[in-house]
Amino acid sequence: MAILPIIKYPKEILRKTAEPISEISEEIVTLATNMAETMYDAPGIGLAAPQVGVSKRLFVIDLGKDENEEKKSELLTFINPQIIESRGKMKYEEGCLSIPEIREYVERPSWVKVKALSISGQEFELEAEGLLAICIQHELDHLNGVLFIDYLKGLKKKLIAKKLMAFENIK
């Protein structure tokens, strides 16, 4: 197992459309394992393959235990994910491991149904709401070269432009 370096904004790979995974090889299994370790170490609640420099359609999510510890921590791995239904709206203050120290509210569907392959190659469907739905959409955006800052408009966009320029200068 290994902790991988996390690619930071504005690196080009974060803007590319990632390639579908045609075979769940040993290399993919190792990548998913290392991505999970990297996410726990960061710490974060999700991580997409382009964030570790691999332009492939794979992400991992673990929201951890909830406050009441009613829900256990569960590692979810999504390969070639597709959102097949969505509804509702909610705002959540998102962060991104590739854009450290910036958190902003983004509005997205509050419920999604996602279809993907598991790490063992099994197709599954998952219905998610709340933070899990938000995190799935954030990670799927990474596979399409979209970042949460792209959703900001008006004054918010202008205000964070300055902070983003600081990242651009240390490219």
DSSP designation for 97: T
The reply on whether position 98 binds ligand K1U by CB under 6 A is: yes
For the record, the structure tokens of 125 come out as 């469907």
Site residues for ligand K1U, 37-56, by CB under 6 A, read: 43-48
Rounded Cα distance, 106 and 94, in Å: 7
- Is 139 catalytic? The answer is yes
Contact call for residues 60 and 42 (beta carbons, < 8 A):
no
Closer by beta carbon to ligand K1U, 95 or else 145: 95
Closer by beta carbon to Zn ion, 109 or else 145: 145
CB of 26 to Zn ion, least distance (A): 27
Residue 10: contacted member of ligand K1U, Zn ion, none (CB under 5 to 8 Å, by partner type): none
CB of 154 to ligand K1U, least distance (A): 21
Residue among 40, 14, 24, 4 nearest 78 (CA): 24
The reply on whether position 134 binds ligand K1U by CB under 6 A is: yes
For the record, the structure tokens of 93 come out as 């203050």
With the C-alpha atoms ordered 57, 2, 97, 36, is the resulting torsion angle positive or negative?
positive
Residue 139: contacted member of Zn ion, ligand K1U, none (CB under 5 to 8 Å, by partner type): ligand K1U
- Angle at the Cα of 140 from the Cα atoms of 89 and 137, rounded to 5 degrees: 15
Three-class SS of residue 104? strand
The reply on whether position 60 binds Zn ion by CB under 5 A is: no
The footprint of ligand K1U (CB under 6 A) covers: 43-48, 92, 94-98, 134-135, 138-139, 142
Residues annotated catalytic, as ranges: 139
